[in-house]
Amino acid sequence: MTLVIVGMTGAAAAQPTPSSCDRACLSAVMADFRKAMIAGSPGTVPLADHAEVRENTRLVPIDATTWKAVKAIRSEMTFADPVTGNVVSRAGVELADGKPAYISTRLKVVSGRVTDVEMSADTSPRVVAGYVWNLDPSFAAVLSPEQRLARVELEALARRYFHSLSSHVAVGADFDDKCDRFHSGQRITNTASNSVEAGPPRTCAGSMEGNPPWGPATEQRFPVIDAERGIVFAVTLLHYPKLPNEPRMYVSEVFKVVAGRILKIDNIGLMLDGVSTLGFAH
């Protein structure tokens, strides 16, 4: 199943873009990237000189990413933002050994060349095949005009979410009553138990409050915003100062916002030791 989501309409979409690459162009660049990587031809990816390529925060050669172990793409959704020149793909893949994995890939396109490749790849046993191989089509749904927020409002909402990760004070009005959060397909909210976050059943807002071991959330970025579909793709580096060796989590999230409230959160959260930065200054 493939969900192709190609950005925004209206005044925001009409703004000049750093890449001069419109929504269809950005989506095509991502489609070509996936084809090249799964075919074992990363050398055909049109990388710019001094392009920055990172997987799970670490600089890597383009031919040394998790894509080299992918046998098939089972499900995929793509979000493109012609204002920023960024496009992101979430792909539920089958690895060569038959196991599921979840890969998020962000590309920034400038003058027809790829300047950024930012990948978050979860190949751990916690990846839920039933979710990542059948990605929720509601993310692709176009909202009616009265259900949409403006681009600046969507970014502000996502910033408040990351601020709540730091302050442990949630803005309850930002969440739909049915809001659910998934980590690589594992349901974290409104469920009796999960292997990611211990404790009692929780809501999207409630899971941020109390005395969790994380915070602050630094290096916040919002590369892709699609107001027509109520989508924000955002990343942050979440610190865990209360745990031994103070590990950090690379958080890569897609928010679905309907009628001004977060309805669904698709997260890839990877605990990484020795990470000092996500890279990518913009």
| Residue written as token pair 């138990």 | 193
Q: Which residue has the higher pLDDT, 57 or 4?
A: 57
pLDDT of 62: 96
pLDDT of residue 202: 82
Stretch 51-77: mean pLDDT: 96
CA–CA gap between residue 155 and residue 191 (Å, rounded) = 28
**CA distances (Å), origin 204, targets 180, 182, 220:** 6, 10, 19
pLDDT higher than threshold 70 for residue 14: no
Q: Please provide the DSSP assignment of 17-51 as one string.
A: -TT---HHHHHHHHHHHHHHHHTT-GGGS-EEEEE
pLDDT per position as a tens digit, 24-33: 999 999 999 9
Q: Which residues does 41 contact at the CB level (< 8 Å), separation at least 6?
A: none
pLDDT over 70 (residue 58): yes
Residue-wise pLDDT tens digits, 160-214:
999 999 999 999 999 999 999 999 999 999 876 665 665 566 899 988 888 888 8
pLDDT at 213 (0 to 100):
87
* Tokens found for residue 91: 């792909």
| H/E run at residue 235 | strand 231-239
Closest listed residue to residue 178, CA positions, set 190, 186, 193, 188: 190
Please report which helix (H) or strand (E) contains residue 243, including its range.
Answer: none
In this prediction, residues 88-95 reach a mean pLDDT of 98
How far from 75 is each of 65, 91, 152, 156, 250, CA to CA, in Å? 19, 6, 30, 30, 23
| Res 207: pLDDT | 87
Name all domains of the chain by residue range, CATH numbers in brackets: 2-139 (3.10.450.50), 142-272 (3.10.450.50)
pLDDT band per the 50, 70, 90 thresholds, residue 67: very high
More confident residue, 120 or 245: 120
3-state secondary structure of 63: helix
CA distance 26 to 140: 16
pLDDT at residue number 245: 86
- Write b or e for each residue in 13-46: b if 16 or more Cβ atoms lie within 10 A of its Cβ, otherwise e: beeebbbebebebbbbbbbebbebbbeeebeebe
Q: What average pLDDT does the structure give for the chain?
A: 90
Going by the DSSP 8-state scheme, the letter that residue 144 receives in this structure is P
Of the listed ranges 10-24, 82-96, 164-178, 257-271, the least confidently predicted one is: 10-24
Amino acid letter for position 166:
S
What pTM, to 2 d.p., does this model score? 0.90
What percent of the chain clears pLDDT 70, i.e. is strictly above it?
A: 89
| Dihedral, 30, 78, 270, 45 alpha carbons, nearest 10 | 0
User: Could you read off the pLDDT of 125-162 as tens digits, one per residue?
Assistant: 999 999 999 999 999 899 999 999 999 999 999 999 99
Checking if the pLDDT of 9 tops 90, the result is no
> Residue 101 and residue 270: Cα distance in Å, rounded?
13
pLDDT at 210: 85
